Structures are given as structure tokens and as C-alpha cells.
Amino acid sequence: MVDTHCHLYWPGLIEQVDEVIGRAREAGVGSIVVPGINLSTSLVAQDLAHRFAGVYFAAGVHPSETEAAGCVAPAEFFKPFLEDPKLVAIGEIGLDAHHDPGAVERQRPLFRAQLGLAAERDLPVIIHHRDAGRSVIAELSGFPGLRGVFHCFEGSRRLLGFAREHGFFISLAGNVTYPTAQNIQAQLSRIPEDRLVIETDAPWMPPEPVREGRRCEPAHVMHTFRFLAAGLAKSTNMLRILLSRNSRELFQIVGDIDGA
């Protein structure tokens, strides 16, 4: 099993990272992708990828970090990362209108620049799209042929339609298990089987039944996995094979990625 999106460097996880990864292995999680959200976290993600077998990293500037990043040029930001064989994507990048709809216009230039670098380097992108799906699609449409994944899918029919048309992957997190997530659950049957991956987005959004009072960690992706197996009416073995194959294709990972 692959946790395709986990912030292992976050306080509460990084202090016990050996134990966290050990529990993930015991649960059957063979690989973890750690996306950065700025320069410092991308560097820590890179270090973790080299400390632990089966851990890979992505580098990027999250939309919430746009102002802090200033006018840094992508070529300068990504210089420490682009030749690293454990770099599997550009991310976490995107647009976010949740707290301030007006922030999207300030986020666009850096998002566009990072998309351009990903296209130039033929790297997939990990897309954050909170309450900004229409704007995200507008930017992605300027880069035909770009590969990537919509991280922590919110249930948007528009985003799913774009993913189906352009071959983007859809990543489901622990929130799909919540009773209030009918909008996401209603789209499960419309997600192409060959474009589905799963994640924790740890330390956030622990799935049912470990939601209350718990910090999410990679081992918890197995709860989301079992929920999806039931929801999609697939055997756990069949779904495991499917998700591992999709994760390998998305991130172009060579070798064993399944800890089960």
C-alpha cells in the first residue's frame, strides 16, 4: 500500500518518525510520498526520503506560502531537488480560496511558474485545490500533457470531469470515510479505476474509526483503504493491486512499493 501524501515533517510526527514509519510498515504501508509546502519542508522531506527506504518526496510552494516565498524563481527554489532520484513530483502546489477568495489572484503567478517547471521537467504535479477548482482548471488548461493528481479530492464534479478528460489522478483521503462526506462518496463510481490513489494527508483528517482525538499518520491509510474496498465492492486484494499500480504509474516509482 502507498500513502501518496503525508507531511511526515510536521510537529507531532517528525519527533517520532521512526516509530511512525514502523507502525506504517506493520500495517502494510510499503511506501510514503512526502510533499513539501515551502523550501524548508521540502528539504526535510528530501532528507526523510534518503533516510528511509520506501519514502519519496515532492518539492513545492503551497498556496498558503505564496507571500512568504516572495518572488523566488522556480529555477532557484528547485535547484537542490531536480536531480535527486527520490524526487517524484512537484508539490504540494495549487490555489486556495477557502479563507480568502481574493488570495487566488496573488497565488496564480507562482502556481503557474511551478506548473511550467513541472511541464519542462516532465514531472507530475500534486495539486491543492481547496474551494478553487475552477481557477485551478483554468491554470492547468495552459499546460496540455501535464501529469498529476488532485490531492484530497473534495467531490467536485468539475474537477473529476477534468481528471477524466486529461488523465489526472484522484487522491482520496480519510475524510471520504466521514458520514458528512456524501458529496465525495457520491463520486466514487465515477472515478476511473486506473486513476484512483489514496492518502492520509497526515497529520490531518484521520479516517473513521480513529477520527476522534487522534493525529493522523500513514498507518491510518489502511482504514480508508478498507472503506473504499467496501464502497467500490472490490476485494481488498484486488483494490490493493489496483492502487499500487496506479501509484507506481503516477510517480514513476521503480521497484517494490507495497509493504503487504
Would 27 be classed as within a structural domain? yes
Look at the block and give the residue holding cell 483554468.
Answer: 138
> Which one-letter amino acid corresponds to residue 55?
V
234 close to 226: Cβ distance less than 8 angstroms? no
Does the residue 28 lie in any domain? yes
Q: What grid cell was written down for 201?
A: 494527508
Residues of the chain with pLDDT under 70: 70-71, 254-260
16 inside domain: yes
What residue type is assigned to position 27 of the chain?
A: A
Is 82 within the bounds of a domain? yes
Select from 209, 214, 217, 151 the least CA-distant residue to 15: 217
Indicate whether 258 belongs to any domain: no
**Within a 10 A sphere around the Cβ of 197, how many other Cβ atoms?**
27
CATH code for the domain of 39? 3.20.20.140
Q: pLDDT by residue (tens digit) across 72-91?
A: 778 889 999 999 999 999 99
Look at the pTM and tell me if it is higher than 0.85.
yes
**Residue 260 included in any domain:** no
Print the domain residue range for 116.
2-251
Q: Is 246 inside any structural domain?
A: yes
Q: Can you say whether residue 121 is alpha, beta or left, with left for phi > 0 and alpha for psi between -120 and 50 degrees?
A: alpha
What's the total number of domains in the chain?
1
- Within a domain: residue 257? no
Which grid coordinates belong to 79? 535547484
